Amino acid sequence: MTVETVSEAIVARLADEGVRFIFGVPGGECNLDVIAAAEKQGLRFILTRTETSAAIMACVASEISGAPGVAMTTRGPGLAAASNGVAYADLDRAAMLLIADGYEDDQGYISHQRIDQTAILAPMLRASSNLRGADPIEEVDRLLNAATGNPPGPAYLEVAGSFIRRPGKAAPGGRVSSAIAKPDQAALAEARSLIASARRPILLAGLQARSPDAAAALRAFVDATGCPVLATYKAKGVISENTPPGLGLYANGVPEQPLIGSADLIILYGFDPVEGPPQVWRYGAIPSVELTNHAFDDPLFRPTVSVIGDITASIGALGDAADASGWPAAELAQRKDQLWAAAQIFTGDGISPAALVRAAQKALPGDSRITIDAGAHMLPVLHSWRCDAPNLSLISRGLSTMGFAIPAAIAASLVDPDRTTVAFTGDGGAMMCLGELGTAIQNGATPLVVVFNDSSLTLIGSKQRRRQLAPAGVDFSHTDFAQVASGFGWHARRVTEEGELAAAFAEALASGRPALIDVEINPESYDALILAIRG
């Protein structure tokens, strides 16, 4: 392709990386140069309604495709508004490059919209650049290496016109990615000894296990050993939950305690403490082996043995040492049934959250990709919905931000348009990003959004009740989300009776448009559900 300017050379490098979309809200400066370069070179610029959603969409595009995600904002308020999405990239370990306008070196007299943008983002960034270096493509490669490193996360590129409108040329070849270190052999030998002596090992798979190679290595280990697996929220599906060894979810909660407590060894495979809830590790008396791509600044606990280095190589070297013969098949099957039954709590009147999830499971294709917002509704979804592959369930776990599910589903629908994509969101999360319904219509995304509508911040309300505080500050005025979605051009339906759910899902799937089902929920079962899952 023909490259004439630095901005075009940068976009060409992004295309080489497999980037297909740039998400953002542009200003009138360098953003326009990047959009023009993207159009020229076949990348789609997706105009979002908020910068936060743009950054989240970029992260989700990365998680699904494996290529770095790219978001773009204007200076000042645009950059500041994107910071929540940058925090998602940091804590949820998504490779993302944020590009924003800066000022020229001779514009020191300007204070309008001027904030120290790099300083705002610095605590979350893996790297940053303002292109003052000699070779802009080397700078971009440095940022991409940092963003895709261990752990992956956000990098920031601040650009000014005189630096990206200079003549540029395409860089030969491609970026040389940073390799993951080989596992330490002494630690591996110690881990092998512990694993060889166990008869009831259990494996907890975390977010590092989501890559194709890591998931394949895990499945080979399980096939060879029969070792049962629990997965964290972000690792859901790394081992199929429809197979006997794929037992369900680890959330440091109540349902899995008897199972983990009866193990004689815990293997942590790609487990990142950022996914751990803010509670003390419950299983300190059980020996543990950690297999991780990198060390952690704030570990959840100190495992007996920690093997730092390529987790696929580590687990591949340990398969012939493992023996899970102490787990009778009948016992594992019974414990799995108990795990999945924990979220099956129904109410007599109205539509319970569990009943809504059950109806969705019956109506939607088994290989659908789901996105889940933060809130009480995530518990019946995550603990009832089964996945056969990684990255078919997307959630903000490290940051646990609301306003995630809808932009995530839009991005997923754009990146993987042939798969049914379903967003499960509460009313609070939906209200944070309703403008993105317009983004879906404008760009041909066709997600299905399911709103658990009880006019409340239910998870916070439950905590308020447990503290015996008076109800205040957690309830919303009524919102008809179906009417709002119709105004954007979506297929939409409001449901108030459980018997209407099957038809609502069937109509949504047949509509050929983005669709929203606004479901009036009876929140009565949430307190019991939270107690059953979290204690």
How far apart are alpha carbons 349 and 262 in whole angstroms? 38
In this structure, are residues 75 and 29 in contact, taking their beta carbons and an 8 Å threshold?
Answer: yes
How far apart are alpha carbons 211 and 115 in whole angstroms? 37
- Domain ranges for the chain: 6-164, 185-338, 353-534
Q: Do 6-164 and 353-534 fold alike per CATH?
A: yes
Q: Which residues of 214-244 are buried (b: 16+ CB within 10 A; e: fewer)?
A: bbebbbebbeebbbbbbbbbbbbbbbbbeee
257: tokens are 């305690």
How far apart are alpha carbons 205 and 202 in whole angstroms? 10
With 0-12 CB in 10 A as exposed, 13-18 as middle and 19+ as buried, what is 453?
Answer: buried
Coil vs helix vs strand at 377: coil
In this structure, are residues 234 and 395 in contact, taking their beta carbons and an 8 Å threshold?
Answer: yes
* Torsion, Cα of 463, 52, 372, 213 (10° steps): -120
pLDDT by residue for the chain (535 residues), tens only, comes to: 677 898 999 999 999 999 999 999 998 788 899 999 999 989 999 999 999 999 999 999 999 999 999 999 999 999 999 999 999 999 999 999 999 998 877 767 777 777 899 999 999 999 999 988 778 899 999 999 999 999 999 999 999 888 888 888 877 777 777 788 999 999 999 999 999 999 999 999 999 999 999 999 999 999 999 999 999 999 999 999 999 999 999 988 899 999 999 999 999 999 999 998 778 899 999 999 999 999 998 898 999 999 999 999 999 999 999 999 999 999 999 999 999 999 898 877 899 999 999 999 999 999 999 999 999 899 999 999 999 999 999 999 999 999 999 999 999 999 999 999 999 999 999 999 999 999 999 999 999 999 999 877 777 877 888 888 888 887 778 899 999 999 999 999 999 999 999 999 999 999 999 999 999 999 888 888 888 888 7
- Nearest Cα neighbor of 377 from 399, 348, 355, 347 is 355
Q: Does domain 353-534 have CATH number 3.30.420.40?
A: no
Q: Provide the whole-model pTM.
A: 0.94
Give me the residue label for tokens 């950690």: 290
**Helix 405-415 to helix 51-65 angle, to the nearest 10 degrees?**
50
The structural architecture, per CATH, of the domain 6-164 is 3-Layer(aba) Sandwich (3.40)
The dotted CATH code for 185-338 is 3.40.50.1220
97: tokens are 């490059």
- Nearest Cα neighbor of 507 from 482, 476, 474, 535 is 482
Task: For residue 5, report the phi and psi dihedrals to the nearest 5 degrees.
Answer: -130, 170
Beta-sheet pairing, 44-47 with 369-372:
unpaired
